[in-house]
């Protein structure tokens, strides 16, 4: 964020990164899941060979038969489970041809899957698709990981209710969110974002379906840039931390000179922004700015607060820029225009534009005009 937010952090090496560690153990069954067969090529089903439960048991294509070996639990946490274990890429490989197997659930990228609207089952860690080896429908054909091609042997019909790809009321499904942020920090949960949306119903809820999706893509593209792909919770340049206290404000900096550094999806910074955001959200962020880095829902709410209510160095809020047709470039101006727009830092602007174009592609809408500032 620029102007009344912070003097821009640099993209220097990560110093003092405050990460939430990746979860190493998943619950026995994910919440909000659907169970059923996953069918694909020639109408055959994803099957656990001989209904085995040993780690490394082959996952294959087989005639659909309704047995437990073909009952897959597609969870909103990105796992796909059968017989109490997870669909897994052998060895955690990201290479074409890596075989698919059953393995103890462990929370690694090798066990994360996203069902797209186009019926691809994608492993975001590898950015590759679940594929039938050799494009053959013979019983026992192994499933593998392969570069997504859109071919028939990569198309699947999976249980939808509650699982990846299921609309939550937000125009971005969880599957699409995971596709946008394959390496995100677990702190930035989809559920935290969806819950936070309740405070700003106009966000991604105004205008045509195209405009709604464009606004969601625009918000998430700027978030992507600010956080390095939803990786960083706090500003990485710790040398900047003491710079965000404006002592001319009557309330001062009660949390300390260096307490108001960038946090959350839009990297909220400066004591006056913490005061204003806290007042709007009913939270004492001035005295406890650490809430933004410790609570995912609060973090998302501060980002949406800025997007929907603040103009920053621009002339309009980012929300208004998207719903009134001013274009994506004006969202950049409102967030960090004083340091990036009008030729000041074209590489940073391009980073935001690239993400926006990628995200509108995922959502199936054109990016519109006026992409640059």
Which CA distances in Å does 55 have to 84, 101, 133, 205, 271? 11, 8, 21, 45, 52
Is residue 226 part of the annotated active site? The answer reads yes
Half-sphere exposure of 22 (CA within 13 A, CB side): 9
Question: What is the gyration radius of the CA atoms in the chain, in angstroms?
Answer: 22
Report the phi/psi class of residue 66: left, alpha or beta, with left for phi > 0 and alpha for psi in -120 to 50: left
- How far is 116 from 179, CA to CA, in rounded Å? 9
3-state helix/strand/coil string of the chain: CCCCCCCCCCCCCCCCCCCCCCCCCCCCCCCCEEEECCECHHHCEEEEHHHCCCCCEEEEEECCCCCHHHCEEEECCCCEEECCEEEEEHHHCCCCCCEEEEECCCCCHHHCCEECCCCCEEECCCCEEEEEHHHCCCCCEEEEEECCCCCHHHCCECCCCCCCCCCCCCCCCHHHHHHHCCCCCCCCCHHHHHHHHHHCCCCCCCCCHHHHHHHHHHHHHHHHHHHCCCCCCECCCHHHHHHHCCCCCCCCCCCCCCCCCCECCCCECCHHHHHHHHHHHCCCCCCCCCHHHHCHHHHHHHHHHHHHHCCCCCCCCHHHHHHCCCCHHHHHHHHHHHHHCCCCCHHHHHHHHHHHHHHHHHHCCCCCCCCCC
Q: Which of 174, 215, 226, 235 is catalytic?
A: 226
Close Cβ partners of 248 (under 8 Å, ≥ 6 residues apart): none
Query: What positions carry a catalytic annotation?
Result: 226
């Amino acid at each position: 964020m620029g102007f009344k937010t912070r003097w821009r952090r640099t993209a220097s090496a990560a110093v003092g990164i405050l990460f939430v560690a990746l979860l190493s153990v998943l619950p026995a069954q994910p919440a909000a899941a659907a169970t059923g067969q996953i069918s694909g090529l020639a109408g055959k089903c994803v099957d656990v060979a001989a209904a085995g439960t040993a780690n490394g048991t082959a996952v294959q294509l087989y005639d659909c038969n309704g047995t437990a070996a073909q009952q897959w639990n597609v969870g909103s946490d990105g796992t796909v489970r059968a017989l109490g274990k997870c669909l897994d890429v052998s060895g955690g490989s990201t290479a074409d041809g890596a075989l698919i197997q059953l393995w103890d659930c462990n929370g690694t990228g090798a066990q994360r899957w996203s069902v797209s609207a186009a019926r691809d089952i994608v492993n975001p860690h590898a950015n590759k698709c679940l594929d039938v080896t050799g494009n053959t429908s013979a019983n026992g054909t192994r499933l593998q990981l392969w570069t997504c091609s859109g071919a028939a042997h990569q198309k699947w019909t999976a249980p939808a209710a509650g699982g990846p790809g299921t609309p939550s009321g937000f125009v971005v499904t969880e599957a699409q969110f995971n596709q946008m942020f394959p390496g995100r920090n677990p702190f930035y949960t989809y559920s935290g974002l969806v819950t936070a949306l309740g405070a700003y119903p106009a966000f991604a809820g105004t205008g045509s379906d195209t405009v709604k999706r464009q606004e969601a893509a625009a918000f998430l593209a700027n978030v992507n840039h600010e956080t390095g792909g939803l990786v960083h919770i706090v500003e990485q340049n710790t040398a900047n931390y003491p710079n965000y206290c404006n002592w001319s404000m009557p309330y001062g900096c009660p949390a300390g000179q260096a307490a108001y550094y960038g946090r959350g999806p839009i990297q909220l910074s400066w004591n006056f922004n913490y005061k204003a955001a806290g007042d709007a959200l009913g939270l004492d962020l001035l005295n406890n700015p650490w809430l933004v880095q410790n609570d995912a829902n609060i973090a998302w709410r501060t980002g949406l607060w800025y997007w929907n209510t603040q103009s920053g160095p621009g002339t309009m809020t980012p929300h208004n820029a998207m719903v009134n047709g001013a274009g994506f470039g004006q969202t950049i101006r409102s967030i960090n225009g004083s340091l990036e727009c009008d030729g000041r830092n074209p590489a940073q602007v391009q980073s935001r534009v690239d993400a926006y174009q990628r995200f509108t592609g995922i959502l199936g809408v054109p990016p519109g005009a006026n992409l640059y500032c």
